[in-house]
Structure 1
């Protein structure tokens, strides 16, 4: 019998860049211009969303909660428009947002799917946050979540994994086996861990394994120092897995939008989206999956490229049978890594089951040479939970991954075996793969950003292959005619993928950044971005204000030749005038 759980408790500018969502948002040639438009995301939390202008025109408010900055902050990371400060826009600034109090979003899921077309929910709460007995327990709530993922195949629930990482649950190593029970222990949902801007896991982030040894969380995102919406019409910083989960939910909204663009407006299956999202993650912590980061750090650029390249299969396998899928790495291709992931929405297990895996499928990958690769497997025994994963047969998880470094050209065979399928009926699975080329790509800034001198940002990049070569990072204020190495930008360690930078004080609309992968001949250069001070707007003295219009003044910005005055009309800022003056009526 399950004890009655406690009540639910609440548990960006840099977040969008370090997950590569900025590239999905960017309208530059070769980027994606995604905003979440038309995608409906439910946010279960304590919030009064009408306290911020950033949700104007896109809000379905079903929340009766007392005003609370926690929920407002979470919703902003998913889909704030950035109307007050554009740099604090959320991941999906044009998504439609359904507000509901905590787990009410789950209880009303069938209605919100039917009435509004909801396809994603974000859930930054848990019900028992301080009890090792219930941590990782597969209970009634976990079973209900698994049932919903199968009943509503286009819906994806996302949960914060919990902030109980500092609790020690003997006999496990300190800091492990403290994933919240209930919702967070479901097999078919997505659980999110919390790390800082430098992508280092925060000690407070709950870590696996869950009771039956499964991997949780599956993925990690920034949850420390996240700037997002707070009351009233302001932005503030908060931290926790509550702040990491909406990065994943907002990122999923962009992937749903992209899928619809290439599939006639239809919604993807939740299993495909989960597999693409998790397989796209950048490995962190121990090699392969681990109980801290899951399969790694959110990297939406890798996920959307798998989606665009149709690097996936959706099929069924019968009990005892083996399906094969073959891809070819062409001769002359320079591939740094091949990542293959098998995922299936598993049937709901019995409440309090000692082992929750019902259907056991198994993945192997065969190289052109005949070498067979098994998926990564973790040791969930209490004293070994921090050990690195090793290849083996996984009879515990409904998600498996094979990674091959520097794969040679030729045919690769992915085999999916229906090891145990109790129903006897063919069972659905999703198989996704990523062939990552040897490359170095600047991911922030990319061009089009509007910064001001002194802004503290991180120059960020992805790099695959040539692992021992370090980097040089330079900037230009004249569209690349001349380059200067940024402070600490010479011989940047080969293992780093970001560098702190205080933006140059110059006023220019021709700023660019370049990264050089030393010794390889590979370099990547941003498009132009703007650096200029932000004017401070003030209202003219009272006698100059009359009904029907206002008179505004602003201080001159060094380097500015003119000013564009804009007015908020509906959900958009629209231009009403361009002037060389520093006042407008």
Structure 2
């Protein structure tokens, strides 16, 4: 069907339709090197300015049309490439005046400065090692103005610089070339060159259940049965996918030469793997698709050549790229700033590939990058979160994919976030890139036939690429063709995505998670759900939509924009506008984000930076809406675009009938309750309607139905219906009934609308607990009990049981949860441990408390009584935390009895007994020599006997540790080896020579000795105990040399050896400001220049760190021409280092090896340098002194001629005066081989 039949087209200048759009125009010109707002040009005041035959920037006061461009060309202005805002590069082909500017609405015209042509990656970071090719040779990309012949220029530069030409990029009018590094300064001054950048930094792979997360699992099954059959995908990566892997064998071809790589194989398996070696478990998104595998490219010329093969030879419709550019390891602020979010010239090439500049269009998926990661090679290591999208994911027309966790769709810790440097929203969508459960990643093919698990946006990008393969297969199945725009594919993915994060788009999740099922459903419907068209500046397209009662109305506009202009800081070329008009003519604008507040939610406004615009309305007004697409500023048109509608099929050209059903709220109530439900049927169309309405339900809870009730409604008339439903008394919680009201137009068979109310049986909870009877126990003892929990409610109940008791005895388990079905019970068991030494006849109340998940509870209690007449003795010594070297300890206890048994064990339960002494009659006992204990941790207890009855052991045994192990020695780590320390408060640091491995040792601590001599007799301070391996002195110490040593001790009295001493010099004082002596301030200096200064202070009476100086010389007030560090207090610069007649400033600061620095003298001293050739009296400097100089001197002395400049040049006999003797001396030199001129 033709465009004219499907869409209302209105052609009129947007200036007349939307004057408010221009009410507050932004005239900022956005360049990569910085933005500026130019003053309006007035050539009537600058008539001497000529732009003829030059390339310039031209800014207009509004968007211009193709007709405007023709008029400009006739006036000698050839517009070339667009730069936001309202600005073009242009070639001026004749002299122009203010009249031409005025009649063409030109507000500014100006030159392009050389510094604006050089990439910030060069100016901010410098020429990278990756771009160097030996010596001073560097790999550059040179972009020329669009009217220049790059082939001619390549020949010229190859000849001029003996350069090596690499390749051409005709889509951006550029070529790659290897040139001497200094050449780029000169080339930036060439009028014909637009932009210079070094070759991109090294590539890196973006590594750091997928089918279920994207919906591919459903799409591969009936009724969709999609597999990607007949679809070719092109992959670029850090190597080739394994062509022999069983999951992909016979479906991969190689596009170039490279070795097989694990990462590339994993990516390929995510797209096309069929899971052969895993029983289908690890199959990819499109298991029947085919793939051509390439090694990643390094230049724009490679992009063009390889994409040409992929598209023309293999018919590739999709490419997947899980790589980007690195920022170095470690990352730096400069490398992050100059790389992340940037739009390189290759990005423009990629954008042009997508839109089909040279070949058929192709959808390009790109991973967003993992730059929020914490490794040193990521900018997240420096704290970066937002603004971390990697190059080339910053390209406008790519589908840039972030990574979420496949099991719960949560954000990963590494996935890069937008915005791009120009404020654009990236990523576009997110997909599965990791997992927080099971294998903690995405498992796919590995070289050799197996599988491997990885995380990263490298995994999410191919998951989305594989989903796109299914979209292409389905489109071909339904429509018999595969000619769909990449912008339509991108728009369908965005419009059907599941919103995550902030409502609407955001810089974390983009437009949401890819929903493959929703995307397939949309693409299968065709143009009622999406539409393709093209537009130019000033044209307006309007689309009719029928909106009934969806929860959300979402319309998305996408266009594949031309590649951005190389010099431009804003990448948008063609700017389209989207708006929705509700039934009452209220305008709804797209959702936009603020790059200055990237965490903030979306607001509505005109979008001037993105080539994706979405208007999203929650709970829209039912009725007839319109979508309006405007060609606001189509700089390079006409521009093809795609418009996507949600709900599906809401695009209804020419329709006047629309109905809406407004249901009551869903409700929930208890079984047995009767409730009423209301519905309103409304005519929301533009004409009267005859319709029928019906109400029924699916589980027969209704107490009556409505069948085909005939209604005639004028626009916005309504009909009210009320029915009642009874929830069956036997319902379990969650049982539900769907009551649906359906309205069907009798005038338009396509207008059918329904709405439903869900009635749900609510849950009620009831529980009970039955506990044991009261009983008696002994001490110590372990006693089992059973109790019963009953669920008397109508729903599953997760019941929590807690056991507590007055005496804090141990119950196992003391906490338990049990999930009981409705109307059921369960018997549970617990074990009660009665500790030793419990008081005779003590009672303990045990409470068993049950809590329902529905906030119900029940408690049962029982009482136990302890029978324990014979109590154990009380332990006196050794007590807990006793540390000793003595293995023959004396034990003491109290308690009257006939005899005692003493137990010594290596465990707290006194089961691993190492000494047992029975029949003791005293309450003290010393271990005999023969039984002396070895080093270990011990526990002891005493049992008392009265007649034949014995007590228990104590509830808490005594404890002690025998330790005769000398602690390991310590060694110093800082400060050592005569280190200079600049801070009075600093930390000593040390470590073990060998860390102790025996855990059964007494607690250890450290001892620090500090003194001013190596014998530790002078100014000795001892610091102990020091528990850690570092120590900061509580008081400051004096300047000078200090000595320190260490010793380690333990609580049992063992000592390590003392360490050898280490020494350091404390020097915390800043050096004095040097006193500048020569040259004298404001003097005139000639010849070699001696700079001399003094330290400015007397030597201190203590040892201090050596001092040195930093010398700086400035030409004028700010141009640094010489900068060095040196130890002497003087410096000579030869005359050839200085410029004759120049004014110089010089300054010196003092530094020492402790890191202290003085200030510079303020203000610095200055001098004027006068340089000359002795005997060059006439000042021509063109030759050696000769007869013309002698004549000049005679004329000065006898004929009042001009004085030599400088005068000293005429004092050739070294007496510092100019006179007759100089004539004699000079003549002798010239004619008699006398001595040469000697000026002072």
TM-score (norm 2): 0.34
Partner of 2:571: 356
Seen in structure 2, the aligned counterparts of structure 1 residues 154 and 147 have a Cα distance that, compared at 3 Å, is: closer
For 1:340-379, list aligned pairs within 5 A: 340-379=555-594
Shift of 1:321: 2.1
Seen in structure 2, the aligned counterparts of structure 1 residues 355 and 376 have a Cα distance that, compared at 3 Å, is: same
1-side partners of 2:759 and 2:428: how far apart?
Answer: 34
2-side partners of 1:400 and 1:212: how far apart?
Answer: 16
For 1:307-346, list aligned pairs within 5 A: 307-310=523-526, 311-330=529-548, 334-346=549-561
Partner of 1:59: 252
1-side partners of 2:316 and 2:664: how far apart?
Answer: 43
Matched, 1:277 2:493: yes
Shift of 1:304: 1.4
1-side partners of 2:383 and 2:424: how far apart?
Answer: 16
Residues 371 and 379 of structure 2 are in contact (CA less than 8 Å); yes or no, is this contact kept in structure 1?
Answer: no
- Three-state SS of the structure 2 residue aligned to 1:394 is coil
Select the residue among 87, 91, 98 that pairs with 2:285.
91
Number of aligned residue pairs: give it.
438
For 1:312-461, list aligned pairs within 5 A: 312-330=530-548, 334-381=549-596, 384-423=597-636, 425-435=637-647
Partner of 1:79: 272
Partner of 1:288: 504
For 1:20-419, list aligned pairs within 5 A: 20-27=215-222, 31-45=223-237, 46-62=239-255, 64-85=257-278, 86-103=280-297, 107-129=305-327, 130=331, 131-132=335-336, 133-150=338-355, 151=357, 152-166=359-373, 174-181=384-391, 183-197=392-406, 198-224=408-434, 225-310=441-526, 311-330=529-548, 334-381=549-596, 384-419=597-632
Residue deviations 1:191-217, cap 9 Å, x none? 100111211111211111111010111
Seen in structure 2, the aligned counterparts of structure 1 residues 280 and 466 have a Cα distance that, compared at 3 Å, is: farther
Seen in structure 2, the aligned counterparts of structure 1 residues 189 and 153 have a Cα distance that, compared at 3 Å, is: farther
Shift of 1:412: 1.4
Residue deviations 1:36-90, cap 9 Å, x none? 0000001112234124111122121235333322111100000101111202111
Shift of 1:349: 1.2
2-side partners of 1:40 and 1:229: how far apart?
Answer: 19
1-side partners of 2:256 and 2:284: how far apart?
Answer: 20
1-side partners of 2:322 and 2:511: how far apart?
Answer: 20
Question: Structure 1 stretch 96-105 or stretch 203-212: which is displaced more?
Answer: 96-105
Residues 346 and 398 of structure 1 are in contact (CA less than 8 Å); yes or no, is this contact kept in structure 2?
Answer: yes
Residue deviations 1:220-273, cap 9 Å, x none? 001001111113222221100000000110000000111111222333221111
Shift of 1:169: 6.9
For 1:426-575, list aligned pairs within 5 A: 426-435=638-647, 519=758
Partner of 1:551: none
- Three-state SS of the structure 2 residue aligned to 1:237 is strand
Shift of 1:113: 1.2
Residues 153 and 269 of structure 1 are in contact (CA less than 8 Å); yes or no, is this contact kept in structure 2?
Answer: no
Residues 319 and 363 of structure 2 are in contact (CA less than 8 Å); yes or no, is this contact kept in structure 1?
Answer: yes
1-side partners of 2:383 and 2:592: how far apart?
Answer: 18
Residues 48 and 63 of structure 1 are in contact (CA less than 8 Å); yes or no, is this contact kept in structure 2?
Answer: no
- Three-state SS of the structure 2 residue aligned to 1:84 is helix
Seen in structure 2, the aligned counterparts of structure 1 residues 520 and 75 have a Cα distance that, compared at 3 Å, is: farther
Residue deviations 1:346-405, cap 9 Å, x none? 111112421111111010011223332111000011xx1110111111001000001122
Shift of 1:467: 11
2-side partners of 1:107 and 1:279: how far apart?
Answer: 33
1-side partners of 2:759 and 2:412: how far apart?
Answer: 34
2-side partners of 1:134 and 1:113: how far apart?
Answer: 29
Partner of 2:201: 6
1-side partners of 2:379 and 2:268: how far apart?
Answer: 32
- Three-state SS of the structure 2 residue aligned to 1:402 is strand
2-side partners of 1:518 and 1:430: how far apart?
Answer: 36
Shift of 1:468: 9.7
Residues 404 and 431 of structure 2 are in contact (CA less than 8 Å); yes or no, is this contact kept in structure 1?
Answer: yes
2-side partners of 1:242 and 1:328: how far apart?
Answer: 40
Shift of 1:338: 1.6
Residue deviations 1:404-439, cap 9 Å, x none? 22234321100011111124x4321110011179xx
Residues 138 and 352 of structure 1 are in contact (CA less than 8 Å); yes or no, is this contact kept in structure 2?
Answer: no
Seen in structure 2, the aligned counterparts of structure 1 residues 106 and 19 have a Cα distance that, compared at 3 Å, is: farther
Partner of 1:545: none
- Three-state SS of the structure 2 residue aligned to 1:38 is coil
2-side partners of 1:206 and 1:321: how far apart?
Answer: 37
Shift of 1:520: 5.3
Seen in structure 2, the aligned counterparts of structure 1 residues 406 and 127 have a Cα distance that, compared at 3 Å, is: same
Seen in structure 2, the aligned counterparts of structure 1 residues 520 and 87 have a Cα distance that, compared at 3 Å, is: farther
- Three-state SS of the structure 1 residue aligned to 2:463 is helix
Residues 444 and 452 of structure 2 are in contact (CA less than 8 Å); yes or no, is this contact kept in structure 1?
Answer: yes
Shift of 1:318: 2.4
RMSD over aligned Cα atoms: 2.7
Shift of 1:135: 1.0
- Three-state SS of the structure 1 residue aligned to 2:197 is coil
Q: Which protein, 1 or 2, shows the higher relative CO under an 8 Å CA cutoff with sep ≥ 6?
A: 1
2-side partners of 1:218 and 1:49: how far apart?
Answer: 30
Higher relative strand content: 2
2-side partners of 1:5 and 1:321: how far apart?
Answer: 39
2-side partners of 1:73 and 1:304: how far apart?
Answer: 25
2-side partners of 1:107 and 1:466: how far apart?
Answer: 62
Shift of 1:7: 2.5
Residue deviations 1:151-203, cap 9 Å, x none? 24531111111110247979x9840111112x221111111001112111112
Q: Flag structure 2 segments of 5+ consecutive residues without an equivalent.
A: 1-195, 435-440, 650-662, 669-732, 735-755, 762-1240
